[in-house]
Amino acid sequence: MTEESVVATIQHLQPELTTHFMHLVQTNHLAHAYLFNGADGTGRQELATVIAMRLFCQHVTAEGLPCGQCAECRRILAGDHPDVVSVIPDGQRIKVDQVRYLKSEFTKSAVEGNQKIFIVDQVDRMTTGAANSLLKFIEEPVGNTVALLLTANKNLILPTILSRTQVVDFLQVAPQAFAQALEKAGVAPSQRYLLATLTESVSAAQELTADDWLKEAQTQVGQWFSACTQGDEQAFVRVQTKLLPLALNRDRQGVLLDMLVQVWHDALRQQAGQVASDDLAFPQVATASQQVSQRLSIDQLVNVMTLTLATRSQLAGNMNFQTILEALTLQILAQVTR
């Protein structure tokens, strides 16, 4: 990402936070540890990068922003600055060797000056042991250091880390602006509402729609839902034959679970009154959604929603994905056939 795009992006997404943190750097009032909490697309990575650039920039602009042209800014953008240590998950987790690398860097002073910054993205993907190692650094920082911990869900962070960092909650992207961005990106109207429930990032939305993955997932989740609403035991079979092949990795597993939540949320919303198809996450099963909303009581639908919402924490607890889906399906079938 170029300087122009990263600075312009964060100024557009989080103008107040950008101004605030540029002022903190200028006045030398940065705390030593922050937790940036924001959904994908809200700018948490971009702000972390711009803060790092501002700390080392040799030619700060009149507006107090990094210039993006000096050697320091360019090295940070290229991921080649020795005093800017960045870690992102390697696959599903932040792995042991990455934690060893972090712990080693924690004990070192800055290489080229007196300032060092650590950026750990998706810190919620650390093991408990790794998170405790991070906690030790936060409690006993070495030298002039700043740690920026990034997450999309602060509820998954150890309370001890939350209590020792300054938590910064990022504003959500305005729904209308996001919808317009999806339209501009060529996303089909039938997928826009669903995507808006899954992400606030246009780039993430484009990844989900690439190779028609989202289209196929929307179809298969919809058909699973229809079978569930009819009390059809084929819903259980569809888990292995239709849903599992879409679970290409842990990220996609999480997206599928979120989609299960949304398809039942459609039914819950329809129970309160008729909802236009364009405002449904799964418009292709609108009829089935309407029918089950009329047949089940509010308590039954709430129970189903509670079951689907629990699947995310089960996945975070390393429960087998197929087991999660099969257990959920059986529980839902028991609800709808009462």
Do 249 and 135 fall within a single domain?
Answer: no
How much is the pLDDT for 158? 84
DSSP 266: H
Question: Average pLDDT for residues 1-30, to the nearest whole number?
Answer: 85
Task: Please indicate, yes or no, whether residues 102 and 249 belong to a single structural domain of this protein.
Answer: no
**Averaged pLDDT, 310-323:** 90
**Is a pLDDT exceeding 60 seen at residue 2?**
no
Task: State the pairing for strand pair 145-151/84-87.
Answer: unpaired
* CATH code, 17: 3.40.50.300
Residues 310 and 219 in one domain: yes
Dihedral (CA of 129, 135, 141, 145) sign: positive
Residue 287: pLDDT over 60 = yes
CA distance 218 to 311: 18
Q: Residues 310, 303: contact at Cβ < 8 Å?
A: no
Distance separating alpha carbons of residues 7 and 53, to the nearest angstrom: 10
Domain boundary (169, 184, 212) is at: 169
208 and 83 share a domain?
no
pLDDT, one tens digit per residue, over 77-135 is: 999 999 999 988 776 677 777 878 887 887 787 888 788 999 999 888 887 777 877 88
Please determine, for residue 286, whether its predicted confidence score (pLDDT) is greater than 80.
yes
Those residues whose C-beta lies under 8 Å from the C-beta of residue 300, and which sit 6 or more positions away, are 335, 336, 338
What is the per-residue pLDDT across 154-182, written as a single tens digit (0 to 9) for each? 888 888 888 899 999 998 776 667 777 78
State which of 119, 154, 169 marks the end of a domain.
169
Tell me the pLDDT of the chain averaged across its residues.
88
Q: What is the pLDDT of residue 55?
A: 95
| Burial of residue 51, with CB atoms counted within 10 A of its CB: 0-12 exposed, 13-18 middle, 19 or more buried | buried
Cα separation, 243 vs 237, whole angstroms: 10
List the CATH number of the domain containing 323: 1.20.272.10
The confidence score (pLDDT) of residue 71 equals 93
Query: Is residue 60 over pLDDT 90?
Result: yes
**Model confidence pLDDT, tens digit, residues 204-230:** 888 899 899 999 999 999 999 999 999
27 and 122 in a single domain? The answer is yes
Residue 201, domain extent: 175-336
How far from chain centre, in Å, is Cα 64? Answer: 29
DSSP-derived 3-state class of residue 232: coil
**Alpha-carbon span 102 to 123, nearest angstrom:** 12
Number of domains in the chain: 2
